[in-house]
Amino acid sequence: MSVRNLNFMFQPESVALIGAGTRPGSVGAVLAENLLRAGFQGPIMPVNPKHKSIEGVLTYPDVAGLPLTPELAVVSTPPDAVPGIIAELGRRGTKAAVIITAGFGEGEDRYGAELRQRMLEAARPHLMRIVGPNCLGILVPGIKLNASFSHLAPAKGDLAFVPNRVRW
């Protein structure tokens, strides 16, 4: 495995949150709150066609409407939408994505496994790095990035990587 484009995952200069939400307790709302309140210094661009703003931050209707290409995208949308979103982000030049969404073949779900394969095929031509799907997100305390739906934020410290499964 190479380290290509990992810098965009763990040291992004801009982040888009596709599927940002406002419904209290929803994954999209918790992600938005964590991202926007952690202190990350780069642009954070929430994407949701139903809202003008989230947490006081201007919201964009879709990936095409973003004012700049995000280095990192955090995706929390219905699973059927994810392969298309990854393809669109890849065409724009996004190099890393965290897929929070579940429904990609966990267990033996055949349709979900097909969706996961379509998502990976959409990422491949653009050399886009993917964390997930069906994950908690990523946290990088050193740059105040909380792209997770964790209710706790870790303290700044040494590197920790906790995979739930590894495939080689």
Q: Across the strands, what pairs with 72? A: 15, 96
Please state the CATH superfamily assignment of the domain spanning residues 6-148 in this structure. NAD(P)-binding Rossmann-like Domain (3.40.50.720)
Encode pLDDT of 75-111 as tens digits: 999 999 999 999 999 999 999 999 999 988 777 789 9
What span, in angstroms and rounded, lies between the C-alpha atoms of 18 and 60? 9
Q: Give the contacts of 61 (CB within 8 A, at least 6 positions apart).
A: 47, 48, 49
CB-facing half-sphere around the CA of 144: CA atoms within 13 A:
9
Encode pLDDT of 102-135 as tens digits: 988 777 789 999 999 999 999 999 999 999 999 9
Average pLDDT of 132-161? 83
What span, in angstroms and rounded, lies between the C-alpha atoms of 30 and 4? 30
Beta strands in the chain (DSSP E): 15-18, 44-47, 53-54, 57-58, 72-75, 96-99, 129-131, 137-140, 145-148
Could you tell me the residue ranges of all domains in the chain?
6-148
Are 106 and 127 contacting, i.e. CB atoms less than 8 angstroms apart? Answer: no
14-23, 48-57, 155-164: the lowest-pLDDT one: 155-164
